[in-house]
Amino acid sequence: MYSHNISHIDVGLKWQEEYHMQKILADAGITPGGQYKPKNIIDAVGKYLGAKANTDIIHPAITCRKEKGYQNQLIFELIICFDKELNLTHCDDVAAGLYAHCPQDDSYIVY
């Protein structure tokens, strides 16, 4: 059982490096403190994930939340989805949807 746990830890560490969200977003010109449309963030991450999976785009999911002191909602989390074989897959079917608690209009959120 111990070696099985180590392999999961190793995979998690590999993914943390491979899918480093701050770097992915920065490479797309999305930087901390800026205000962005949620769709632009999903598209930027989706293009990166798609390139990793040799396809056009793979939709991540995003969760936003309102924090005291901020006019606009903040990014709370970005979610990458994998299938049972640990291949990247679209997050279209996650429980809260692609835009959990995030505006889907032309509103901006803070990163």
Tens digit of each residue's pLDDT (9 = 90 or more) over 29-42: 999 999 999 999 99
Instruction: Provide the 3-class DSSP secondary structure of residue 103.
Output: coil
Q: For residues 34 and 62, what is the distance between their CA atoms, to the nearest angstrom?
A: 16
Q: Which amino acid is at 106?
A: D
Whether 2 shows a pLDDT value over 60: the answer reads no
Whole-model pTM: value is 0.86
